[in-house]
Chains A and B, each alone.
Chain A
Amino acid sequence: MKIRHIIILSWIILVIAPLALAWNQLDSIAERSIYETIADFNNKFQTKDSISFTFIVAFLSTIFTLIIGLPLAWNLGRYNWPYHNILRSIFTVPFVMPSILVAMGFLALLDWISFLTDYNHSTEVRFYFLLLAHAWFNLALVIRFCEPLLSTIDSSYEEACRLLPSGKTQISRFRNFWLPLMWPNIAASSALVFVFSFTSFALVKFITPTQRNLEVVMANQSEWAGLSVPSLSRTPSEIVMASSTIQLVTIIFALIISSWLQSRSSGHHLSTLNDARKSVSFKSLRGLYIILMLIFIISPMLSLISSSFMIRENNMMTFSLDGWESAFGGSRSPTNAYQSLKTSIGYALMTIFLSLPIGFLLADTIFNLEKTNPKSATILDVLVMLPLALSAVMVGLGVLLGLMRTDPEIARSWWIPLYGHLMLTTPFVVRVLLPAMRNLNPRLEEAASLLGANYLKRLIFIRISLLTPSIIVASSLVFAISLGEFGASWVVLRFTEYTTLPVMIGDLLSRPGYDPILRPAANAAGTILLLITLVLFISVERFRPVGSGGEF
């Protein structure tokens, strides 16, 4: 029990400490109050319209994602398709794609569309593309939250509904049966889609470069915020404080709603252990819909892959392997794709090693608290999810300040980037394991306890044994997210010897593209990342049993 408390306390410190350090530093420089700064937002170019833009984008993206995601979740949950696991992997893999790659993919797609339709995309079109990219990115949240429940509701319940006056039509069954059953899951997934769209950085930065959401505003100020030169850092510090306050309050509110709704979603007893899905083939109208959705998902990926083979030569685009040669040869970057992939895999495995036990203990604690102290369970749950809500700027600044004040040499340690990976992945371990723990039959452990099995034996032979599929799914998620992690590694000092694949891509993209090989090389490195993640997801999907394996 003591180790559990230490880990939970360490987690809280790891989450809160950088934030507190950064806040303290910003506060010592800022002169105006947060309220005054926010009131002045629309009078300054840096911040003008950023609040409304952030909320509009997050709100519209959430609606857009639900419109696209719910029918897809329904079709994956209620029907058994040929190659179902592969389909499910493809539909959920966008979520773990590094956002910088998603932006590149969508920009490449925009180009193909303008090439095929002869229509030069304007800033307005890009806004809608941003919403589409958010929907593409967050589709997995809606599917993962809704599909497991849908796949285990026995069709006899719906048959029974048909006999009732209020369940005669499809619409009335949806309103009176499916919606009341599904709404906690729909609302919980909406809350998370809202959070991710609210904090979106790379997609906004690359797809709508002339508009700024709060995350971009903060990133723009990050150079000078908190610096001990007040004449330069006062305004940036005030802007970062005000922006992060709006962001934090909004997101904590959304996460509380999400956590509360999720704990409610385990309240019905209509799920069966049986697979309730009907088999269906692609040769139907429903099949056509799935194929169209598949095209929607894979087209940005295909655009990215095809761009890696196209190179500018004598002012025209031609097929070439030079980008791939450069990526693997490292001729345009400090490291090559082999080396950075090796570093990425090293970090990803280390992250699994750390975030799995931490996430397991956090999930277990929340699970136990739900029975004894639901309020504390919600608070801990929000605290677990909080890192996803923190701006990379605040975390980066906090880590940097913390390290500078203690021992600057630590900043050069190989394990520093692990911090960002850990913060980003552990919430997902909890999200996968917690619902799986809720599904465990408590009598098994009670029986083992009566037979004399101690806590460790019960943990190894019952809990971990039964949760193994979920642990494998969580591992793959951690591995994929860590492999694609870009934001935190980019903000914390980037030392060459720890260059991961996404950082190498960012490095190639941040140089002027006069040299025609730079962009194809970045696309080639991106393609490697994409293919590894895809293969990983497809191979692990079979471990996810129907209806279980978590709400994520």
Chain B
Amino acid sequence: MYKNKVFLMCLIVMCSVFTGCLGNDDSSDNDMKLNIVSYDAFGVSQELLDQFSNETGIIVEITRAGDAGGVLSTAIQTKGTGLFDMSIGIDNSYLGTALSADIFQPLDTERSIFSSRALSSYDGDLAIPFDVGSVCINYDSNYVDGENVTIPTSLWDFTESEWDGKLAVQNPRTSSPGRAFFIATVDYFSKDDDNQTNYEDWWKSMRSNNVIITDGWTTSYESHYSGGYGQWGDGFIGDAHAVVSYCHSPGVEAYYGDNWTTSVALDVNGASFSQIEYVSFLSGSDKSKSANTFVDWLVSSEINSQMSTINWMYPAIEGGDVIEDSGYRWHSLVPIDCDIDISEIDNKISMWLDEWDSAMA
């Protein structure tokens, strides 16, 4: 019994010691602290953020909220509360909704520093682009060897038997790349030569051809895709020889794989979506000066030009490109993307998604 009491006493002492670890440091909770909501995959390291803090005295606190949709939904839910000062990662597929929801305040960033591609969806002052990249189908060249299986030249090719159960895509309701690719298919089939069919027909055919649909990019790319880094990791299935990812994903594979990859981005005009990611100043915050300082830093030549290695995307600034090391640039494709207006996306996305939901059931 004595032993038990000693144990309980130790527990109480430890409680009092360790609970001190949980206190909030309120001293930094002022104008010089920016609370930012971002997506999980935002890759700017703590080291770089610390560097920014040292240079400017502004402390950056990042809270992760899932994917781009999660960032938008958090921003809407906390609208006007001042809980978050900025958002990072709302992309052009969600921007129309964000603008309609009136959750942003203007920023003073100079627009002339950006590439025309970065400003192609929106060139106002409420959302500042910080990186870009195209979402398209990647295929494994071990399977698509050009002889037994030819390189697809149209999305309809994926409805053929050789692609039965071999394409992995993401659920457009739960994944940002999935949503981007879905929007690309809507536009692609509305502009192709065949006026008799639309995106619904293609998705229905894909369902019949056993397309693999996962809830997130990680599962489809890591577990299902045979041509990616997933083959070296745990839980690899490898049943898909093509996957929806970024057109520069093979470049990233090569960068980490010592200039070796079997993954290739599919070059089909209009079958890709140019994703532009934005940083914004949220309504309800009064830290305009700090927010502008942070945006200026993020889109500065020094930081933004590194986007291909810190956030695996293209820089948004004029002349920005992915780096050339280890075949990164050589394996990255810059396709001709679909061309769709963000207001059209905002107006019709609910209807499109409902139709997709029924078509795929």
Contact = CB atoms under 8 A, between A and B. Distances in A.
Interface of A: 42-46, 48, 104, 107-108, 110-111, 120-123, 126, 205-207, 209-210, 212, 216, 220-221, 223-224, 227-229, 231-232, 235, 303, 307, 312, 314-317, 330-334, 342-343, 345-347, 349-350, 352-353, 400, 404, 408-409, 411-415, 465, 468-469, 471-472, 475, 493-498, 507, 509-516, 519, 543
Given A45-B356, A472-B4, A497-B61, 5 more contacts: A216-B215, A224-B69, A235-B350, A468-B1, A514-B252
Contacts of B47: 331
Contacts of A315: 232, 257-258, 260
Interface in B209-240: 212-215, 217-219, 221-223, 229-230, 232-239
A343 B233 contact: no
A514 B253 contact: yes
Contacts of B22: 343, 346-347, 350, 414-415, 498
B40 A507 contact: yes
A512 B312 contact: yes
Contacts of B213: 45, 210
Size category, B interface: 35 or more
Contact of B19 (A48, A235, A349): A349
B63 A45 contact: no
A271 to B, nearest CB: 22
Contacts of B77: 227, 400, 404
Given A44-B358, A209-B219, A513 B233 contact: yes
Which of A334, A343, A408, A512 has most chain B Cβ within 10 Å? A512
Nearest to B43: A511
A221 B35 CA distance: 25
Those 8 A-B pairs whose CB atoms lie nearest each other, nearest first:
A107-B235, A408-B81, A45-B360, A346-B21, A510-B40, A209-B219, A107-B234, A468-B4
B215 A220 contact: yes
A514 B258 contact: no
B27 interface: no
Interface of B: 1, 4-5, 7-8, 11, 14-15, 18-25, 35, 40-41, 43, 45-47, 61-67, 69-70, 73-74, 76-78, 81-83, 97, 101, 171, 173-174, 212-215, 217-219, 221-223, 229-230, 232-239, 252-253, 255-258, 260, 312, 350, 354, 356-361
Contacts of B43: 511
Contacts of B219: 209
B82 A46 contact: no
24 contacts: A44-B357, A46-B173, A104-B234, A111-B235, A206-B235, A207-B235, A210-B213, A212-B215, A223-B70, A224-B69, A235-B350, A312-B233, A315-B260, A343-B22, A345-B18, A346-B19, A349-B11, A412-B83, A493-B63, A494-B64, A495-B63, A510-B41, A510-B64, A511-B41
B74 A111 contact: no
Nearest to B221: A512
A130 to B, nearest CB: 12
B215 A205 contact: yes
Nearest to A226: B77
Contacts, number: 198
B204 to A, nearest CB: 11
Given A45-B361, A210-B212, A353 B15 contact: yes
Contacts of A333: 46
B18 A349 contact: yes
Contacts of B40: 507, 510-511
Contact of B81 (A104, A345, A404): A404
B64 A507 contact: yes
B354 A235 contact: yes
A93 B66 CA distance: 30
Contact of B61 (A48, A347, A409, A495): A495
A530 B219 CA distance: 24
A30 to B, nearest CB: 15
Which of A48, A104, A408 has most chain B Cβ within 10 Å? A408
Nearest to B255: A514
B74 A493 contact: yes
Contacts of B78: 404, 408
Contacts of A414: 22-24
Contacts of A122: 237, 239
Contacts of A345: 18, 21
B256 A317 contact: no
